[in-house]
Each structure stands twice: as structure tokens, then as C-alpha cells.
Structure 1
Amino acid sequence: MHNVESPDQQARWSRLVDQLEERLDELAQAFTTKVREIPEYGESQVTVQEIRDTARETFRRLIRGLKGTHPDSRDGLLEFASDLGAKRAQAGIPPESLTTAVRLDFSILWAELLEIASPEDAILLASRVDKVWGVVDEFATRTHTSYLTERVRMAQEESSIQREFVARLFNQSTPSVETSAQVASALGINADSRFALVAASGEPGARLRTAVSRFTSNTTARQKLFLHESGGNTYAFWALPATRTRSADSEDQLPPPLADLPCGYVPEVLGLRALPAAARTAESLAALLRPRDTRPLSADSAWPRLARQALQDSGMDLAAEIEEALAECRGGERERLLETVRHYLSTGNITVTSEQLFCHRNTILNRLNRFEELTGIDLAVPAKSARLIVAWA
């Protein structure tokens, strides 16, 4: 059962609300003082005068909502809240700071009501607290919703602009200095930084898009990843730290989401202008990926594959030549020779190879000599070994 207020209580409530309206300047000043204590507001583009003016208008509309005598008061309040949320998003106020500021409205309004009320108004105030909170909460909710909507719109607009500039960069084989500077400005990076780039297509390309999307949506991530798609290929690039740290493994510089992704990988180029050429290299590396590959493939690790592909494109098939030379092997000789040669290529040491295969050193030497006899490849000669490495890449 709901309590019905008497005409006297309704009249008294109207007088209290009227008194609140007479104190708009005091309410606005109290809000301004408190909100300036929020660090993000103190350091923002929002001026003290704007905060005070907005607070005054906010309280005027909230009090009008408490009166409930104006049919359009609620719509006007919510429209004002929507506008406020969008403005604060454009000013770069963090969401937590905005929520803190908007929630001040209730505490300031209620404190002012308690100050102007008399002890006899206690029951009246208790019956009206939900009304005050409801009006302020609806205002706060609409402000926050509008803020988030504007943040999404701004992010989409920024992303769209960035995509345009990235496409402009990659559409030129050798971008001009002017183009490079424009792209750097749009992306908020240094045009002369060192960059890394990866490329993938098909299913790995879809995984790359997903990985970049998730990474960039993480607001705590310090590193920026930029995406570009063209001709069925997906590319991602990022700036490397200003301080060069030469690690033994270039994969140490990969952002975590890309470390276990099969793709072509160019670990370092200097400047934005070098990225289109790096994209072509990464695309070539990605074309060499095999089903067993589970990590990025760089030129350092894939040079034998690149060399083999280049030779095959010119009509030379080293692997076929070696297979033909070994065709005269009988029984298990071919398998023993191949096993020995592969181990020796990976170690470069007769003793280590003999230990790995549990054979005498002389047995290893005999097998290597037999391999040379059949193929003409002396593994002690680097140039000859390189030929074999490329053939078996």
C-alpha cells in the first residue's frame, strides 16, 4: 500500500524545491569545487567556467524534474544528458571520472536539501529520497550511455581515417617523404622509427585479423598494431622500441598474439617508407609456409626455402637432381646416407654426429664420402653444403 501525501506535504515539498532553485549558484560552485579534485578533470580541456556553467544548467534541469510540473522536463533533462555525455567523450574524460562527477549531483542536491529543511521535514525527505535518486540516476545513466556511444563513434571514425592513410602508404611502391609524414601524423607514430611487419592469407590471415582486433581493443596495451588488407593478404605492422635490443631471436620482438601465428615476418625495417617493400617480402615468405609451420617465418630462418623457390621458378630442381644421384643405392643405403648427412648438416661435427647415430667416426666418414661419390657434394665445402641445404629446404 502506498502512502498518499497530504496537500500540506506537497506544498512543503514544492517550497523546498523552490528554495533549491534559488541556490543554483551555490550548487554549481559546490559541484565545481568537488569535480576539480578529480585529476582527469583538472588536467582536461574542460575549463572551470564550462564546468560551472554546465553544473548550473544540470541542477536547474534536475530541480525542474523534481518539481514534476513541466510535461517536457524529463525529455529536456535526458536530451541535455545526451549532449553532456558526448561532449565529455570528445574532451577525453575517462569513463570512471565521468561517472564519479555525475554521481556528485545526488550528494550535493541532498546535502543542500538537508541544509534548508527543518527537523520537522524528516518524514517528508525520507519519502522523497527515492524520487531525488531516481531523477539523478536517470540523468547519470543517459549521460554515461551517450558518452559510450560517442566513444564508439569516435573510435570508428579514427579507425576509418587510419585505414585510409595506411592504404595510401601501401598503395605506393616507394612512398614519398610527404606521404610518410602524413601517415605518421594520422597514426600518432614517428615516421623514422624502426618497424616490423607480418603477412598472412587464407585461414592464417583470418587469425591475424582477429588477433590484431583483440589486441587493439585492449585499452591497457601500450603497443599499437596497425592492419592493412589487400589482394587477399592481411598485413600487420608496429613500431619497434627506440632503443635497439639485439636479442638472439627476432621473435622476441613479436607482440604476444602473433608469436604463435604462421605468417611471413620481416623483423625490422627503418622508417614507414620501407614498409611496402617489407610487405612484399613478408608476402613471399607467407607463400612458403607449410602445414607443419606454427610460428612466423622470417628470411633468416627461411632463406633456403626462398632460394629453392627462386631456383624452381627458373627451372632448376636441385632436390630432383640429388634424388636421381641416389637412385643407385641398394637396400637401406639411401636412408643411412640421408640420415647421416642431415645430422652432419645440423651439427657440422663428425664426432657429435657419430654420437647421435651411435656409430664409429670412421663409419660416418665413409658414409659422407659415399654421398660425395654419388652426388658430387663435398659437405666440407660450404658452397656445396649450401646447395644441399637449399635442395632440402
Structure 2
Amino acid sequence: MHNLETSGHNPRWAELVDLLEGRLDGLAQAFTTRVREIPEYGESQVTVQEIRETAMETFRRLIRGLRHGQADDGRDGLLAFASDLGSKRARAGIPPESLTSAVRLDFSILWAELLEIATLEDAALLTSRVDQVWRVVDEFATRTHTSYLTERTRMAQEESSIQREFIARLFNQSTPSLETSVQVGSALGINPESRFALVAASGEPGARLRAGVSHFGSGQQARHRLFLHESGGNTYVFWPLPAVRTRGRQGAEQQLPAAISDVPCGYVPEVLGLRALPAAARTAESLAALLRPRDPGPLSADAAWARLARQNLQDAGLDLAAEVEEALTECKGGERERLLETVRNFLATGNVTLTAEQLFCHRNTILNRLNRFQELTGIDLAVPAKAARLVVAWA
């Protein structure tokens, strides 16, 4: 037999829904009070009046859904309203977890109000209708959340496009103007006078840099905000540095974002202001060209100054290593290898005693070899300028 108590046309259910609709003001007020307790809503640009008006429209449409047994997907229905609400809250900057907390209030408030207006005789009816109430509210919540995420994605893409335009404007000038740096800083949400770090790479390492930036995605909440620029086959990534300076190579390594800390690339660990980034990009590009297969990650000028100097000298037609090799042609037997081993160890330590210990030789033996090397090449390793010449030659 058809049971009118559980039918979609149950008179008592229709009566309860009518009573619920008569309490719209109370429902909206209860929602407004509770949603303002969510910190992000209380501190947002969404006004109390807007929250209350939105709550009134939400409950009006939810109650209509309860009356018909399903959410209305028409142009002016519940789900269309949910889509608009999700977009609005995304544009207002409400965090996703806060939006979820707010939307979840709808069911608890509706159900609490139903329990208040119902009688003991309505217990079986309410039990049979709880799934319907939950389904209507859940459809509303799902559509709101989906619209919110869609709008957030669109906003992120739009923001990313605008940022790329401003970054390109910065890098396309060899010496950007103060006005340009201020505009770029405003677009990126950073202080144009801040200190930055920058890396550059091409080919497969460049692809790894791009992947690292993409992985960081929500960089604004991360320790580093990574900004990307691509030009002429090169990929550049830069980020603001913390206010507290860190000194030395270890400090520079600590400033590297984890996403790119193992990517072979040219690295400029400190750039003073946005206006200096284009020049730093050229430096990083030059350092990237000096990378060797054994380099485990970013290469800075501090670590590669000798390589850079040697490359510049070779570009000028000077080959210091060839001069040293020619001078050592007089060596007989294994003398050449012994001298080179001794000199390399001495250059690494700067200490005769330590060099002797490492090579298991007497101190006087090391001194004799250094003297012999000077005799053959004319390079006195006790003179810093002469030693530096050899360091560059063997870089």
C-alpha cells in the first residue's frame, strides 16, 4: 500500500516546510552570527549585510528544494545561485577551508530549525526526510565549491599572465628604470628594493627549473615565492630573500628553494633590487655555460670564479694552462706528475706541512718540489698574484 507519511506529497511535510520558510529571518541571522565566528570571514571584505542577504537567498532556495524534493538547476534556481556564490567568494579571497566551513552550517541550521518546529509525532517523518534534506544541501555545497575552484583557477591564470607581462618588461631592459621596478614590484606584490636570488639554465636543467616552479604552485604561502621568466632558450627563476642576511657558501645554499637546490644552473645568490635582475640574469647565464657534469647543483661565482676568469682569458686568446704545460716539458720520468700533484695539493691547502702530510712526504721534499716548479715555470706560489694565475689556468 502507498504510504502517505513518506510520500513526496506528504501534507505534514509541506506544512513543516511552510513553517520553515516563515522563519527565514531567524535562519539568516543564525547563519550570519555563526559564520562571522570563522576568522577569515570575520576579517574579510564581505560585509555583514552581504552575508545576511546571501544567507536569506540561500535558505529561500534550499527550502524550495526541500518542497520539490530536489535542487533546482534553472537559471534562477538553487544551483545557479550556488555557482554565482562560489565565484563571488573566490573573488573576495575567502580561503577554501573557510568556505567549506561556512557552507556546512546550512544543514545544521536547517535541521536544528526543523527539530524546533516539529512535534514528537513528526519523528518518523523527519527520519524519512533526513536524506532528502542532506541531498539538497549537499548538491548546493558541491556546486558552490566547484564554482569556487573554477574561479580561483581562472584568477590564478589571469594573475600569472599579468605577472609574466611585467616580468618580461623588467628583463627586456638592460637597465630598468625606477618607475618600471616600482610597477613590477606592485604587480608581483614584492618590495622592488628587496634583495633577490636568481638562477638560470637551458635545455634539460631549464625544464627542471620550470617543473620546480610549477611544483611550488602555491608559492605565496611557501617560504620562497618563485618567479619565472623565459627568453632566448633560457629559463630564469628569481625569488625575494629574507631580511636577515646569511653569509658564506653555506648561507647561500640555505637560501636555495628545495625545488631547485639540485638543478645544475648558474646562480647569483644576492641581487640588490629588481633593477639589478637583468644584469644578474646575464651573470647567471654565463655561469650556467661553465657547468660540468660533476657539478651537483647551482653554480655561483664564488665557486666558479676561476672558471669564469679562465673562460674570459681564453676568449681573449690567452691559454695559461698551455703555457704551464710547455714549461714542464723539461721534466724527466715521473717528475712532471709529482710536481703537479704537489702544486695542486698546496694550492688547495696553502700549507706546506699539511701538503706534506697528505702526500706522505717530508716537508723539505715539498719545498724542493715547489722550488723546482718555480724554476721551470717562473711561478712563485708564495706570491698570491702568481698563485691565482695558476688557479685560473687549472680551473
Q: 1:30-82 deviations in whole A, cap 9, x for unaligned?
A: 1111111111111111111101100000011111111118x983431111101
Deviation sequence 1:99-137 (CA, Å, 0-9, x none): 111111111111111111121111111111100010001
Q: Distance in 2 between matches of 1:246 and 1:51?
A: 51
Q: How big is the shift at 1:308?
A: 0.6
Q: Does 1:241 align with 2:242?
A: yes
2:60 is matched with 60
The letter of the residue matching 1:23 is R
| One-letter amino acid of the counterpart of residue 305, structure 2 | W
Match of 2:317 in 1: 315
Aligned pairs for 1:152-167 (under 5 A) are: 152-167=153-168
Helix, strand or coil at the partner of 2:333: coil
Matches within 5 A, 1:1-393: 5=5, 10-68=10-68, 73-75=72-74, 76-217=77-218, 220-247=221-248, 249=250, 250-393=252-395
Structure 2 CA distance for aligned equivalents of residues 309 and 7 of structure 1 = 87
SS in 1 for 2:328: helix
Contact 1:166 1:228 in 2 (8 A): yes
Q: Is contact 1:289–1:297 with CA below 8 Å preserved after alignment?
A: yes
Shift of the 33–68 alpha-carbon distance from structure 1 to 2, 3 Å rule, reads same
| Structure 2 Cα separation of the partners of residues 216 and 148 of structure 1 | 15
Secondary structure at 1:266 match in 2: strand
- CA RMSD in angstroms comes to 1.9
Whole-angstrom CA distance in 2 between matches of 1:340 and 1:113 = 91
Change (3 A) 1:356 1:42: same
What secondary structure does 1:229 align onto?
Answer: strand
Q: Any conservation in 2 of the 1:31–1:55 contact (CA below 8 Å)?
A: yes
Report if the CA contact (8 A) 2:71-2:139 is conserved: no
- Distance in 2 (CA, whole Å) between partners of 1:4 and 1:231 is 75
Q: Is the 8 A contact 2:71 2:136 kept in 1?
A: no
Distance verdict in 2 for CA 1:169–1:370, change over 3 Å = same
Deviation at 1:376? 1.6
Q: Does the CA-based 8 Å contact 2:228-2:236 persist in structure 1? A: yes
Deviation of residue 242 (structure 1)? Answer: 2.1
For 2:247, what is the secondary structure of its paired residue?
A: coil
Task: Specify the SS of the correspondent of 2:372.
Answer: helix
C-alpha contact (below 8 Å) 1:199/1:264 kept by paired residues: yes
Which amino acid letter does the alignment assign opposite residue 73 of structure 1?
A: D
> Counterpart amino acid of 1:89?
A
Verify the 8 A CA contact 1:65 1:74 in the aligned structure 2.
Answer: no
Residues 265 and 285 of structure 1 are in contact (CA less than 8 Å); yes or no, is this contact kept in structure 2?
yes
d(CA) in 1 for partners of 2:92 and 2:335?
A: 76
SS at match of 1:254: coil
Residues paired across the two proteins, number: 392
**Quick one: structure 1 residues 2 and 353, their matched pair in 2 at CA, closer, same or farther if it must change by over 3 Å?**
farther
Q: Distance in 2 between matches of 1:237 and 1:155?
A: 19
AA of the residue aligned to 1:33: T
Q: Is residue 204–residue 262 contact of structure 1 (8 Å, CA) maintained in 2?
A: yes
TM-score (ref. length: structure 1): 0.95
Which has the higher mean CA deviation after the structures are superposed, 322-331 or 199-208?
322-331
Superposed CA offset, 1:179-207 (max 9, x none): 00000000011111111111111111111
Query: Would the aligned equivalents of 1:216 and 1:224 in 2 still touch at CA under 8 Å?
Result: no
Q: Which runs of 5+ in 1 are unaligned?
A: none
- Secondary structure of the equivalent of 2:193? coil
Equivalent residues of 2:62, 2:71 under 8 A apart: no
Q: TM-score, normalised by structure 2?
A: 0.95
Instruction: Output the CA distance in 2 between the equivalents of 1:256 and 1:52.
Output: 45
Unaligned 5+ runs, structure 2: none
1:9, 1:124 within 8 Å by CA — same for their partners in 2?
no
Identity %: 79
In structure 1, how many angstroms separate the alpha carbons of the residues matched to 2:240 and 2:71? 53
C-alpha deviations, 1:290-319, integer Å up to 9, x for none?
Answer: 111112111122111111101111111111
Query: For residues 217-255 of structure 1, what are the alpha-carbon distances to aligned partners after superposition, in whole Å with 9 as ceiling and x for unaligned?
Result: 356413211111111111111111223333453323222
Bigger CA drift: 99-108 or 242-251?
242-251
